[in-house]
Structure 1
Amino acid sequence: MALLPIRTRYSGPAPIETSTENEDIIDEAMKFFRANIFFRNYDIKHDADRTLIYLTLYITECLRRLQKCQSRVQAQKELTALAISNFPIPGDSDFPLNGMFTKPTHDEVDKMKQYLEQLRKECSDRMVDRVIDPETDKPSKWWLCFVRRRFMDKSLLNIGTL
């Protein structure tokens, strides 16, 4: 998995992207979510593709949580709790993408956990901004129409956990 720069306010191992003009991997995952969600297979050409796959699956988890939210404040609380939850990482028996990801070495495990949590926290903040309509304070129906779709027929979490 590539350690890519992101625009974030959260500390972690990811390099900080200072330019507001460049898209980071989280922007890219959200931008191409609609197209990617319909893929059953994804051709991995670079390590950045693995990060994009992970974020696409995380966005799907976010949407599942957001469909139950009745306000922006509730959405922020729900996604903050989701972001800091204990997610499986590559190499764990319950990680759904072990065939596509290499298991981190013993020394890399903590760094990977921190990086994935940093990505989830930043992605959660941006999802609230994108999905919650500021006028109605409700989730956008356009985004919620993708809740039932399963990218590559996978899920980061077993349905019903957390």
Structure 2
Amino acid sequence: MTRKQRRLYFVLLGMLALGTATALVLTAINDTLVYFYTPADIQAKHIGPDRRLRVGGLVEQGSVVKMGETVRFTVTDLTATLPVTYTGVLPDLFREGQGVVAEGRLDGKGMFLASEVLAKHDEKYMPKEVSEALKKSGRWQEEEGQAKK
């Protein structure tokens, strides 16, 4: 093998190694990403039960049912709803009609199994997608930044 052939061989081998490393990094990043969806997004897209995701919206009025440490409630974006089950201690700010973001997985039957629930932290916070849905439905109050009751 000549010097030129050996150099070409090492350059090609280096490019192959770089391509493999890039593919592995991109796969690892994709596995750790957690995407945000609204209930309407989940109904429109077919998301498998193995996919970890975040769901945001408002806790529907009259939907909270507590059974010991397990809580069932419905998240709505005023277009669609999604039933959620969570086992654990809820945040102090969690209540009906307030903004919430739940992280977890779908169970394949339409129930969202939350492993973490985050409540809104002040009067002005609301996920962008939820505020847009409120504005479209006419239930948004601009001066307060809250949904009409």
> Bigger relative contact order, structure 1 or 2, given CA contacts below 8 A and separation 6+?
1
Which is higher, the Rg of structure 1 or of structure 2?
Answer: 2
Same fold, judged at TM 0.5 (above):
no
TM-score, with normalisation over the residues of structure 1?
0.25
Structure with a larger share of its residues in strand:
2
TM-score, with normalisation over the residues of structure 2?
0.27
